[in-house]
Amino acid sequence: MSQRIPAAREGTDPELDELLRALRERGVHVSNLAMLLGRRPTLMKAMNGYSTALASATTVDPLLRELAILRTAVLTACPYAWTHHAPKAVAAGLDVGALAALGVDADRSTLTSLQAAVLDTTDLVDAARPLTDGAYDELRGHLTEEEVLELVMVATFYGALSRLVANFSVPIDEDRAAWLDHWPAAHGGRGATG
């Protein structure tokens, strides 16, 4: 399926052009999703600001953050998010082979108990269910209250972002497509999107 709403075009909106210039100056990859959001530059700026804050203004371990994002990608059947965040998880210390443990019903023996708890928490967030006392206590055994809050915020945001990608059939960025080789074969997510 082709992208439902065409991406914004550079040179057609001064606000968009300024946003893109600022992103590139910061070394940010201007993705297909960014160009879709560029149709509404004010909203693009707000989403980018929130996304940037989740990545840079949080105290939770970056690997745990990326695990929550990748698990959300699996649960929402969003390979687009997977291709952007699998390399970040590997850069944060996850072995490439451990990516398979993020699939639904996958063997989690390569993960620590904290990493498995992050996946369990992400599952609850994705199902729009409140954290159980057991899930919360497991996280609190390792993390501060603020870090638990940050993880839930990450899973919530990326759940919404994954659904946005799905609804508009945003194509996978060509420079990220190789990460599809590590997409869990039986991802078990709902729906499929580029």
What distances in angstroms separate CA 188 from CA 105, 108, 138, one per listed residue?
Answer: 8, 15, 25
Per-residue pLDDT reduced to its tens digit, 18-37: 999 999 999 988 999 999 99
Using the 8-state DSSP alphabet, how is residue 13 labeled?
Answer: -
The pLDDT of residue 28: 87
Confidence of residue 2 (pLDDT cuts 50, 70, 90): confident
Smallest Cα–Cα separation from 168: which of 193, 137, 138? 193
Per-residue pLDDT reduced to its tens digit, 53-78: 999 999 999 999 999 999 999 999 99
* Residue whose tokens read 């420079």: 175
Q: Both tokens of residue 41?
A: 């530059």
Per-residue pLDDT reduced to its tens digit, 89-135: 999 999 999 999 999 889 999 999 999 999 999 999 999 999 999 99
pTM of structure: 0.91
Domain boundaries, the chain: 14-56, 62-182
Long-range interactions of 52-59: CB distance < 8 A, separation 24+: 54/150, 54/153, 54/154, 54/157, 58/147, 58/150, 58/154, 59/144, 59/146, 59/147, 59/150
Tell me the residue type at 160.
Answer: A
Is pLDDT above 90 for 15?
yes
The pLDDT of residue 131: 92
The pLDDT of residue 185: 62
Residue with the larger pLDDT of the pair 194 and 107: 107
CATH number of the structural domain 62-182: 1.20.1290.10
Is pLDDT above 90 for 179?
yes
Per-residue pLDDT reduced to its tens digit, 136-165: 999 999 999 999 999 999 999 999 999 999
